[in-house]
Chain A
Amino acid sequence: MPDPTPTPERPGALAPEDGRALLEVRDLGVEFLRRGAEPVRAVDGVSLTVRPGEVRGLVGESGSGKSVTSLAVMGLLPRRSSRVTGSVRLAGTELLGMAPRRLAALRGDQMAMVFQDPMSSLNPVVPIGTQVTEVLRTHTDADRAAARDEAEDLLRRVGIPDPRRRLRDYPHQLSGGMRQRALIAIALACKPRLLIADEPTTALDVTIQAQVLELLRQLVGESGTAMLLITHDLGVVAGLCDDVTVMYSGRVVEAAPRRELFARPAHRYTEGLLASVPRLDSARGEPLRPIPGTPRDVLPWSRACAFAPRCAHADRACADPSLALRGLEGLPAEHLARCAHPARPGDAAPVAAGAGA
């Protein structure tokens, strides 16, 4: 059983740093290389931080680059066909360019990841128990029996009933919620300091989602784990995150503390997103104000704001390749947005009413 706090003797352990951000991503860029064609820029100058015991939400739609960002942080992008630039520091240690062997020692130990679809991230022909003990045996010096006891304890902690029997079960014998719990148990096995959860509840039913979110909330609160939560669901963000980063087409368009973001969305995309979601607590018959177009209708950031083609406020000022993520007048310093015509508090939020196509 590993110590609650990492000690220097453990392979790949990092020096503990207090009070500072655990994960610091600076100016991260990811390009996918294509033979005989221009590289595709999936992530462009993304910066964010996550502090111990806090949850950072990374929000965006398909193609926004949120998942690629997380894979780049974990060092899981294919080396041959992608180019990662910028800086990713975990507790002060630079991860980009780190030797694969050292990085592998960190993954699963200091940082772990929970994926969206537990069925495709668990090995279908290996019992759950073995998949949990594998992590423990790789990263700690626990022997077989100790690892099994620890695995049983982990399954119990994530709320899997009758864990001793479940250890022998294969993934297909578990329900979706149980599989996701098993995946979380594996991610937590070595008490990582950073947990990246990529749409951890998207494949689950709402009542099961509530259970899993409660579990994550507790884990972060109790163990001081720093969590990066990737999701498209603004409701999940509102309930779980401390800070939120909104991405669109590979760039950060807005970053703010949770309450601040929902109370005063500044970027027109964030504003439009909030106006277009049907809310359980809004009166029936209130028309939704959708964002026209689709997330595929983008301009390259090198020419203009990528959201401009879908934005009701777009004008010539938006055709500025140097639009920066900046603080805004009248908003707290930690509220940043990349917008030429940010929404002011009290705006009527007139997102284009047309259905678009």
Chain B
Amino acid sequence: MSAREPAGASPAQAGAPTGAPTGEPGPGGADDVLLRVRGLQVHFPIKKGVLLDRTVGHVRAVDGVDLDLRRGQTYGLVGESGCGKSTLGRAVLRLEEPTAGSVELDGQDVLALRRGELRSLRRRMQMVFQDPMSSLDPRQSVESILTEPLRAHGVPGGPTAWRERVLELLEVVGLPAGAAARYPHEFSGGQRQRIGIARAVALSPDLVVADEPVSALDVSVQAQVINLLEELQDRLGLTYLVIAHDLAVVRHISDVVGVMYLGVVVEQAPSDELYDNPLHPYTLSLMSAIPVPDPAVEDARERILLTGDLPSPADPPSGCRFHTRCPFRQATRCDDEVPLPRELAPGHVVACHWAEEVRDGRVRASSASHDPAAVTPSDDGAPASGG
């Protein structure tokens, strides 16, 4: 399942140092897996009744996800709201208790840890949140926000050393030293996100999970934060799990991209490979739906419009979960047989029965499954005419 690796590099792939001493700097080798997730499930019970508190079902937010993340690389997880991508990110950090499966950080089983052990492991895995305003305490100064992780994890040196570290962190994320004494509301959205990033890297973690790190920012500021994340990766040797709905952003920063739909990863491939040869019908639809700021591209592209909305994750469709909206749905297999992930190209894994047929054009998108009110490519948006 891992990218940039010839076929067969999947699960049992060589020497992730099981039980290796933590904090050992990675050799950066091709098989140096920092984060390994297997069969991860997160189900939330649906409760009914006040006294009896019966469980009447489960929301299967994450329903069996495998992924490998190499040291120093970026894994981008895309999907629409409700597909479980954020829950997956939180479950990896055990901010959400997984129902089943395993998560290994550097060979260490994250799910088996007790509270105290987990706490010390948190030093090595940190999170950047979407909305920097609600993830920073408005009554704490920036210095206090950035000192907190240092104090909580007992970084040696005491207040003097911590203060020095805070100034260093501000410098790293491109904020002036004077920012230390100020409060979150005094900063713009982009600057606040820089503070959030500084907090995440304060303990020099190995893994940073970034959940929609730029989607709350103004367009002209998003690029600054994206560049900062890339710069920090080079400078500090970070490994990222980036969660976003914007495929263009994810493509830009990721080495490997996974596309999630309704709790499962339907396609995973090295970033360029995914964009050049998308195979899963959902990936195809997603890519055709993303507007490109170029009229020539917009006018020429073929749109695959999906019908309807995401089905409820409490009652996912049988067979392939995408079959209710899939424009390539076939009469057989799709409805009743769960497609297993298959590796069709090196590192390119797709969970679709008909991926080869779709790729070779032997199976076409049916117009019948299109929304009657939203007929397909039709016009080119009317050619530009004088203003």
* Residues of A that sit less than 8 Å from B by CB: 49, 53-55, 61-62, 156-159, 161, 175-178, 205-211, 213-215, 217-218, 221, 232-243, 255-260, 262-263, 272-274, 276-284, 287-292, 294-296, 310, 334-335, 355-357
Is B292 touching A279 in the complex (CB atoms < 8 A)? yes
> Nearest chain A CB to B224's CB is how many angstroms away?
4
Is A209 touching B289 in the complex (CB atoms < 8 A)? yes
Is B373 touching A278 in the complex (CB atoms < 8 A)? no
Confirm or deny: B52 has a beta carbon within 8 angstroms of a beta carbon on chain A.
Answer: no
In the complex, the 6 A-B pairs of residues with the closest C-beta atoms, listed nearest first: A235-B291, A159-B373, A290-B223, A234-B293, A210-B289, A257-B384
> Nearest chain A CB to B283's CB is how many angstroms away?
11
Is B305 touching A355 in the complex (CB atoms < 8 A)? no
CB nearest neighbor in A for B275: A280
Confirm or deny: B271 has a beta carbon within 8 angstroms of a beta carbon on chain A.
Answer: yes
One of B8-16, B17-25, B95-103, B294-302 at the interface? B294-302
Within 328-387 of B, Cβ neighbours of A (below 8 Å) are at 371-375, 378-379, 381-387
CB nearest neighbor in A for B194: A357
> Nearest chain B CB to A2's CB is how many angstroms away?
20
Confirm or deny: B175 has a beta carbon within 8 angstroms of a beta carbon on chain A.
Answer: yes
| Residues of B with C-beta under 8 A to A259 | 295-296, 383-384
A239-B291 contact in complex given A211-B374, A294-B190, C-beta closer than 8 Å: yes
Is A280 touching B290 in the complex (CB atoms < 8 A)? yes
> Nearest chain B CB to A204's CB is how many angstroms away?
9
How far is B153's CA from A109's CA once the two chains are assembled, in angstroms? 63
A235-B387 contact in complex given A290-B227, A292-B224, C-beta closer than 8 Å: no
Is B385 touching A242 in the complex (CB atoms < 8 A)? yes
Is B219 touching A277 in the complex (CB atoms < 8 A)? yes
| Residues of A with C-beta under 8 A to B176 | 357
How far is B375's CA from A235's CA once the two chains are assembled, in angstroms? 20
Is B287 touching A280 in the complex (CB atoms < 8 A)? yes
Confirm or deny: B81 has a beta carbon within 8 angstroms of a beta carbon on chain A.
Answer: yes
- Contact of A236 (CB < 8 Å), options: B174, B224, B231, B291: B291
- Contact of B252 (CB < 8 Å), options: A54, A207, A284: A284
- Contact of A272 (CB < 8 Å), options: B220, B275, B310, B386: B220
- Contact of B291 (CB < 8 Å), options: A175, A233, A284: A233
Is B305 touching A210 in the complex (CB atoms < 8 A)? yes
| Residues of B with C-beta under 8 A to A292 | 224
Confirm or deny: B7 has a beta carbon within 8 angstroms of a beta carbon on chain A.
Answer: no
Is B382 touching A242 in the complex (CB atoms < 8 A)? yes
A273-B219 contact in complex given A211-B374, A233-B291, A284-B272, C-beta closer than 8 Å: yes
Is B218 touching A239 in the complex (CB atoms < 8 A)? no
* Most chain B Cβ neighbours within 10 Å, of A205, A215, A356: A205
Is B291 touching A288 in the complex (CB atoms < 8 A)? no
- Contact of B293 (CB < 8 Å), options: A156, A210, A277, A287: A277
Confirm or deny: B228 has a beta carbon within 8 angstroms of a beta carbon on chain A.
Answer: yes
| Residues of B with C-beta under 8 A to A209 | 289, 291
One of B63-71, B139-147, B241-249 at the interface? B241-249
CB nearest neighbor in A for B249: A278
Confirm or deny: B46 has a beta carbon within 8 angstroms of a beta carbon on chain A.
Answer: no
How far is B210's CA from A291's CA once the two chains are assembled, in angstroms? 23
Is A295 touching B218 in the complex (CB atoms < 8 A)? yes
